[in-house]
Amino acid sequence: MEPEKKYIAVNFRLLLWMFVLLVFLGLTVVTAREQEWGLALGFGVFSLVALFGIVISPLYVVFTQSAVTIVYLLGTREQILWKDVKKIYSQGSWFSRGAPPAYKLVYASREKLPFLMEGEIPKTIRTRALLKKFWKREIL
């Protein structure tokens, strides 16, 4: 029996978060050297926000014929079976306020049966092509 072919979509949005983190860490160091403690504290808080963004963002998404798996930085995996997915919709835009562009997968959780869960996949050209390949219904 041949194993399922896996398609991987890397989240390049993490590079943006890392750039923001480096900028705010650099500003924190420069303002601390000049003994501007208020600014150093403010930039330090912003660098913690960027670090939090890196931690909660997915590293990559693995698409197979039977499921989609979202892998996070701390090693946690969220596996969503295609048969459990109720709908997929697009949310956010780089030009609108609010969340960055992403696809939301609404699915029934096996552990919490009466509830519907939402998985979030970053919206890129690769994820769009892979969703069209594996998801036969319409993306809202």
Q: Could you report the per-residue pLDDT of 4-14, keeping only the tens digit for each?
A: 899 999 988 88
Residue 37: predicted pLDDT: 95
**Alpha-helical runs (H) found in 5-139:** 13-33, 37-56, 125-134
Q: What are phi and psi of 21, to 5 degrees?
A: -60, -45
pLDDT of residue 134 exceeding 80, the answer is yes
> What is the Rg, in whole angstroms, of the alpha carbon atoms belonging to the chain?
19
pLDDT exceeds cutoff 90 at 117: no
pTM for this entry: 0.81
Note the pLDDT of residue 111.
Answer: 67
The predicted structure's pLDDT at residue 137 = 87
Statement: 7-134 belongs to CATH 2.30.29: yes
Mean pLDDT of 42-62: 92
